[in-house]
Amino acid sequence: MFSLSRRTFTLSFASSLAYVGFPKFGFANATNQGKLVVIILEGGLDGLAAVPPIGDPQLLEYRRLLLPENNIKIGSFFALHPSFSGFVKMLAKGEASIIHATSFPYTRRSHFEGQNVVESGSINPFVEKTGWLGRAMDMAGLSGRAMALGMPLLARGNVKVDNFFPANLKGSFDPTIDITRSLSSYFGNAEAHKTIKRSIDGVERKYQNAPKFFSRDPAQLALQAGKQMNKDDGPVAAIIRVHDFDTHSNQGADSGQHADQMRVVNDIFVNLKKGLGPSWENTVALTLTEFGRTVRMNGSSGTDHGYGTVGLLAGGLLGKSSVLADWPDMKKLFEGRDLRSTIDYRAVCAACIERAFLLDHKAIASKVFFDPNLKKISDQIFV
Amino acid sequence: MSRKLHLIKHAIFAIAVLVSSQSFAQETGSLGNFEITIDEDFAAEDTNIGPAFDFSKLSIDTGLSLYRCNFIIRRIKIPEEKPEPLASGNLAIENGNIRFLEHKWVTGGLADESILATSSNLKFDKNGKLFGLIPVFPFVVSVGELADGARYPELQGKKTPEKLRTPEGAHRFNLQGDWDGEIEISMCKNEAGVRAFDDSKVRYSAESPIADIHVLTDVMAGAQQDRSIVHVQDNMIQIISANDEDVIRHGSYGLKFSVDDAQSQYPNRGKPRGGAYLKLRGPYMQPIDGKWRHKFSIFVPETTPYIAPADVYLVKMVGISGSKHDDILNIKLGHRDALVGKGWKNRLDNYLSAASGVDKNQTPYDINIGGIFVQTKKNERRYNFDLIWPANKTRENWLDFDVEANWTDTPDGYIIININGQPVFKFNGVTKTRTQTIEIKPGLSRSFGNYLHFHTFIGASPDQLNCFTSELEGFASELKNRNPSLSMRIINFLKLNGVADLAKVKAYNPLVIRQMKNSSCFESEQKANLPKQVVYIDEIEFQKTD
Amino acid sequence: MLFGFGVDANNSHDPAFETLRDSLLRPTERIGIESALDENPLPQPWPATLQYNLRARIARIADYEAAFNETQKIQNISTRKSRSRELKKQYWVYKADQIQFFNQAIYGNTPTRERFLHFWLNHFTVGTDTKSRNLIGDYIQNIIDPEMSGSFSDMLYSATTHVAMLHYLDNFVNIGENSKYAKKHSREFQLGLNDNLARELLELHTVSAAKDYTEDDIRALAKVLAGWFPYNLDSPNALKDIGNIRVPFSEYHAEPGSKIVLGKKYGPGVSALRAVTDDLANDDLTIQHLSSKLCKHFLSDEPSVKQTRYVADVWRKTDGNLPDVHTAVLELAYDTETKKFQSPLVWFLSMQKLSGATLIHGWRDSIEERRIHSGVYEPGKIMTEMGYDFWEKRQPNGFSSLIQDWVSSEHMERRIRLASMTYQFGRAKNSVDEMLEFLQPSQETINLINSTKDERARFVMFFCSKEIMGV
């Protein structure tokens, strides 16, 4: 086998993207504006591996082989996976939180539906064409830029968003203004060509307010995004995406595929903090995943698509560390196989939007998540 | 709000607080706030900076401390063994640990000067071998290419020269896939600024004859990749050993630079330029105690003619700031302005000789024309020329140049040039601007400046001259309303001198220059046939102070 | 509407419908060029030496692992490195597959067939990790391409049981809980079912989420699939002869007993899977799902009910005979005025074909490792940069056909860059004027292109025009 280090692993397999928004010029609350980072964990994070409830006797019964030996105890009931060596320091310093037994209310266990649900923010898959972050930023009057080849669904819904993801085509030429301007006026103002025209205009704006150099490694990306966000006129939001949480086989415990991916998440948190510098105090970063994984190990030493999982939050904006859960009885699994979800993760997202973008919860509930009954839990998560 | 939570070993920060019941998803229940207890071992900030590496089986030389060493990090393509510099600068050694001081990455991209300081973990063992982890940005980022993050290769004590027990030498590691890398450490000094180790035994030993020429070694290893050699086509720069045709100064190898007509480039119509030279910069340009020493031996063979109207440079010292290149001091072979006193006609003859080959028996040995000159800047548009070595001693002799300089933007700067031990030139004052970095280009570079800008007129056909004449006349009449005086001057000039003397027209006005540059009459131009020039350069000693 | 990858500007603009349809009937000869740097590269049969059978491909993966481990023992670092470089060239054959894939689309004479091939390759996605990259070429040439001349149910079965698919969706670790193997080894490892392939077979490949199936159905289907290719790709012993086996099924690892999938009972053994896939292929929801997907891919992001129904009707009438289904799509394409945005890959291939450029490697260019400064480009890199790489690790739902997933500033920039690269390095045979003459675009487009005299800008704008991009 190759002696594949984690770094080369993430470089070769995990592509990623970040979304960065910029405060509108003259935005009234610009000084109080918080910053929001969403870390999408694609494939389904195993909440019981990331934050195992070591105080629950059922845990050992279900998944002896998937439990790391070197868990980091964070209390009498919960522990953190050893990959989270940086995150645990944030937890100790009062700037990270864990929400457990949570999920978007989606139980059909399909990646594609699930990813659509968590990004669009709608309960029904493939209904909404825009994403909850895009809508929230639209509401807050923020324009932005996505660092991705395509436009992530999460960021759609805001016409002021364009994207940035430098080409890796050696020998190619930077597009000239002559070409982009001619094309832009050629596509004109017709409704049918609106998106294309906007994209071409974006090519010309490409290098404005964006880092000149750029890596696709998620942890490096987090550092760059953090540095950009720390600037006075810098972005207010970012998305970082990590693939490959879908460990149907050979998930591993202390080390292994899932552990490697969790270490990427840990590094993202650490690098964000490093890049953000003083702005870390005003930031909240949260993970987002389509579902958890089955409580029991499957036949191939992995886990299959499940339901309840864990959400990790970090950033000075939290003002305190907490581990929040309404811990379900693990003797009674959801449909006999999954951890139940007792916290609607949309409420966690809503709380972060509320505090970061200084929006009203009711407005978020009805206009961003289309659910006026969505609970307000910002007071529990934030100081 | 104070968020400072002081950490007491095994302390409990937060006591579980039950909050009002909330209902979510399928379940109804209460959101519990669980206690957080974290062992100090996990919660404590890292005191050991840099990534983890197991040194436990090694005997680290904890007594080793050095004030300052030079280092260069290179990557090396396997199996071609071509090294390319990535970063260079200074480091200190403290109790066997490396601490990086000021340095620069040449890779661009994400390279960040803080990474070596914060994320390396390197220790020397008692045999002067280096172990640990080093962050390296392995790729130079060019247009259209993606920047890449740092790699963290491991050093396992592999080093050349292997027997050298000091920390100096090239410490090798596997960078990634087909790439190896090395960090070369040299010129270690103690606090008093004295060399800690005498490396002459290593560098100048009999078994490694080429190791004594630092730059040459790099050239041999293919430094083109770093653009240390430029304008190289075919065999413009050759690595030679002594034979009947070629000479070397010392050791077994030397460098031969040659430029002939075929290799001269015509980037813009009418302005031939050619060059085969090294670019010494970055790693080659480290000062020692605020002083620079640049040494090189140059041999100009008899067969290298001086082409009268050309600028032929043996060494250029250039200040670079961004994309702006500024000649600070150039050492020239011959100087065409020495011809000025001989009148225009004579110069025209020289143009003709440039076009047809030069009479080497006369012009090169004319003391005022074919010797070694130093060109420095008088003001923005004019230069000073000083003859520093007479023409009759210039050829067929090795000239050992020893340049001592203080490159600085303060008035205490100076440049002193010695040839064969004799002081020949001295300059005192500001030697560069604040933002400039200095690049030294030994070799052979030639350009045909303003005088020969329109050299093709020399060989122009009558039709072509007519073409230029009518074009200039047209231009003059166009100018009639806008700039009547210039218009008049052009017409008068054409009447008096004819278009063949266009070099004078050029002096008139930038408008005229632009007009002539873009002229369609050039389409039938004939290139001047330029003669071949050769110089040898050897024993380029880098930073040799003793 | 342009179909296929456009046409060679030297050929007829509007190829006869019959010609296109005929190309759908039989597998095509593999075509390629030797070197893109030749003055007039001659399309010729792909060299036999670069065609590897499945056995050879699998054996190479295992051999590579073994040989690589050997190189790690070499002390001299440069020998070790150069040896491992040789190994890569020797054992990884996917680069040749990628070049063939591009060459076939550009120089082959059945571009329409190729577009349907891309559709099915995307439908039965086998995105890959390094280990299974070698297999995709075989999957294309021996499963997707030939099965396009037969029925959907054949293709479904063949694709499901190809090693590339079984490996990609983790079926190699899907082992019957009551199998003899599990009984023997249960003390050593925890063995059992893995439902990944079963889940995607239902959700993505056939009936889709519209069908009301349960987790029990998925589990039952996973039991049917248990025992299909239960070998890890880099374990040399298990693999040496596997490529010769027509049906990679191991009774020893299979779940005994009968299973009930979607209310129907299937017996034990190797034949059960074929029975299940046939039933799934004939399920009306599968027909609706795929008819709609075909229309979305080829006709319009929002095809009319009439169009979808037309394809579905043909499907039902012909029992899913793919040449007939494809012909139906073609008929609609000839009939429709709606525009379909061209995916980056189709757009890029059209550009190569229409301009007569030779930017992409021929087989010799790859062997000799020629790069952009010689004027040729590796196709793999271009696919990656366009976000449309069939050889990259990707999700089982494949690439989207919808415009919103392929329009962004960066996607537009890629197109401008790739067009200017094609102009600069690609030795295009046809001038923009010639292509304009041939394509006869709208006056608006002509005005755009004639707004500048810079030939490169004209070239770029031509390929960013509404007609070429399909908007």
Nearest to C420 among A168, A173, A248 (CB): A173
With an 8 Å Cβ cutoff, are C77 and B180 in contact? yes
Measure in Å the smallest separation between the Cα of C403 and chain B Cα atoms.
25
* Per-residue pLDDT reduced to its tens digit, B449-467: 444 444 434 445 567 677 7
The ipTM value here is 0.85
* Per-residue pLDDT reduced to its tens digit, B181-197: 999 998 888 877 777 77
With an 8 Å Cβ cutoff, are A150 and C387 in contact? yes
Mutation target to probe the A interface, by most A beta carbons within 10 A, among B7, B17, B26 is B26
A372: preceding bond cis by omega (within 30 degrees): no
pLDDT attached to residue A17: 31
Q: Are C446 and C380 in contact (CB under 8 A)?
A: no
Separation CA C226–CA B503 (nearest Å): 88
Q: Report the predicted TM-score, pTM, of the whole model to 2 decimal places.
A: 0.61
Q: Are B372 and B387 in contact (CB under 8 A)?
A: yes
Q: Are A211 and B109 in contact (CB under 8 A)?
A: no
Separation CA C414–CA C398 (nearest Å): 21
Q: Are A154 and A119 in contact (CB under 8 A)?
A: yes
Nearest to A151 among C199, C408, C425 (CB): C408
Model confidence at B43, pLDDT cuts 50, 70, 90, reads confident
Q: What are phi and psi of B8, to 5 degrees?
A: -110, 140
Nearest to A113 among C196, C209, C464 (CB): C209
The runs of H, that is alpha helices, within B22-145 are 40-43, 114-119
Separation CA B385–CA A373 (nearest Å): 86
Model confidence at B64, pLDDT cuts 50, 70, 90, reads confident
- The β-bridge relationship of strands A283-289 and A35-41 is parallel
Separation CA C130–CA C127 (nearest Å): 10
Nearest to A326 among B1, B31, B147 (CB): B31
Separation CA B307–CA B273 (nearest Å): 13
Q: Spell out the SS3 assignment of C407-421.
A: CCHHHHHHHHHHHHH
Q: Which chain C residues touch A146 with a CB distance below 8 Å? A: 408
Nearest to A304 among C195, C407, C425 (CB): C195
Measure in Å the smallest separation between the Cα of A244 and chain C Cα atoms.
10
* Per-residue pLDDT reduced to its tens digit, C144-181: 999 999 999 999 999 999 988 988 888 888 888 899 88
B43 has a chain A CB within 8 A of its CB: yes
* Per-residue pLDDT reduced to its tens digit, C387-426: 888 988 777 888 988 888 888 888 998 999 999 999 988 8
Separation CA A200–CA A185 (nearest Å): 10
Q: Are B183 and B171 in contact (CB under 8 A)?
A: yes
Lowest model confidence (mean pLDDT) among A121-125, B426-430, C241-245: C241-245
C187 Cβ contact list (under 8 Å, min separation 6): none
Comparing CA positions, the residue from B230, B239, B215 lying closest to residue B275 is: B230
- In this prediction, residues C222-245 reach a mean pLDDT of 72
Q: Which chain A residues touch B35 with a CB distance below 8 Å? A: 75-77, 323
Nearest to A326 among B32, B146, B151 (CB): B32
pLDDT attached to residue B189: 82
Structure tokens at A111: 């990646």
CA distances from C338 to B300, C255, C470 (A): 75, 50, 9
| Ranges of chain A whose pLDDT falls below 70 | 1-32, 143-148, 159-166, 206-216, 233
With an 8 Å Cβ cutoff, are B180 and C417 in contact? no
Separation CA A364–CA C162 (nearest Å): 48
With an 8 Å Cβ cutoff, are A300 and C372 in contact? no
With an 8 Å Cβ cutoff, are C417 and A172 in contact? yes
3-state helix, strand, coil in chain A (%, to 5): 35, 15, 50
Nearest to A149 among C189, C411, C418 (CB): C411
Using the predicted structure, report yes or no on whether residue B52 has a pLDDT greater than 90: no
pLDDT attached to residue C404: 83
With an 8 Å Cβ cutoff, are C170 and A180 in contact? no
Residue scoring higher pLDDT (B20 or C321): C321
Q: Are A114 and A291 in contact (CB under 8 A)?
A: yes
With an 8 Å Cβ cutoff, are B78 and C77 in contact? yes
With an 8 Å Cβ cutoff, are C408 and A199 in contact? yes
Q: How are strands ordered across the β-sheet holding B422-428?
A: B237-240, B254-259, B533-542, B292-299, B398-406, B414-419, B422-428
pLDDT attached to residue C77: 62
Q: Which chain C residues touch A305 with a CB distance below 8 Å? A: 199
Mutation target to probe the B interface, by most B beta carbons within 10 A, among A2, A15, A77, A93 is A93
With an 8 Å Cβ cutoff, are C78 and B174 in contact? no
B41 has a chain A CB within 8 A of its CB: no
Lowest model confidence (mean pLDDT) among A89-98, B25-34, B248-257: B25-34
Lowest model confidence (mean pLDDT) among A174-178, B198-202, B329-333, C241-245: B198-202
* Per-residue pLDDT reduced to its tens digit, B95-146: 889 999 888 887 766 677 778 887 888 999 888 899 998 988 877 666 566 6
Using the predicted structure, report yes or no on whether residue B381 has a pLDDT greater than 70: no
pLDDT attached to residue B273: 58
Comparing CA positions, the residue from A266, A225, A206 lying closest to residue A83 is: A266
Q: Which chain B residues touch A322 with a CB distance below 8 Å? A: 14, 33-34, 36
Separation CA A350–CA A364 (nearest Å): 6
Q: Which chains touch B (3 or more CB pairs under 8 A)?
A: A, C
Separation CA C268–CA C17 (nearest Å): 46
With an 8 Å Cβ cutoff, are B22 and A219 in contact? no
Locate the chain C residue with the closest alpha carbon to A195. Answer: C407
Nearest to B152 among A7, A85, A216 (CB): A7
Q: Which chain B residues touch A377 with a CB distance below 8 Å? A: 22, 31
C82 has a chain B CB within 8 A of its CB: yes
Comparing CA positions, the residue from C346, C329, C343, C350 lying closest to residue C403 is: C343
Q: What are phi and psi of B280, to 5 degrees?
A: -100, 120
Classify B276 as helix, strand or coil: strand
Measure in Å the smallest separation between the Cα of B401 and chain A Cα atoms.
41
Lowest model confidence (mean pLDDT) among A68-82, B303-317, C457-471: B303-317
| Average pLDDT score, chain C | 85
Q: Which chain C residues touch B156 with a CB distance below 8 Å? A: none
Q: Which chain A residues touch B1 with a CB distance below 8 Å? A: 319, 383
pLDDT attached to residue A164: 66
pLDDT attached to residue A382: 92
B7 has a chain A CB within 8 A of its CB: yes
Comparing CA positions, the residue from A230, A223, A283, A226 lying closest to residue A95 is: A283
How many residues are there in chain B? 546
Nearest to B26 among A166, A325, A340 (CB): A340
**How many beta-carbon pairs under 8 angstroms link A with C?**
183
Measure in Å the smallest separation between the Cα of B109 and chain C Cα atoms.
19
Residue scoring higher pLDDT (A229 or B357): A229
Q: Which chains touch C (3 or more CB pairs under 8 A)?
A: A, B
Comparing CA positions, the residue from C385, B124, B298 lying closest to residue A149 is: C385
pLDDT attached to residue C254: 92
Comparing CA positions, the residue from B241, B280, B228, B234 lying closest to residue B258 is: B234
Residue scoring higher pLDDT (C241 or C394): C394
C447 Cβ contact list (under 8 Å, min separation 6): none
Listed ranges A12-26, A220-234, C330-344, C451-465; the one with the highest mean pLDDT: C451-465
Mutation target to probe the A interface, by most A beta carbons within 10 A, among B110, B118, B151 is B110
Q: Which chain B residues touch C68 with a CB distance below 8 Å? A: none
Q: Which chains touch A (3 or more CB pairs under 8 A)?
A: B, C
Q: Which chain B residues touch C85 with a CB distance below 8 Å? A: 78-79, 178
Mutation target to probe the C interface, by most C beta carbons within 10 A, among B178, B179, B224, B225 is B178
**How many beta-carbon pairs under 8 angstroms link B with C?**
23
With an 8 Å Cβ cutoff, are A316 and B3 in contact? yes
Q: Report which residue type is found at B140.
A: V
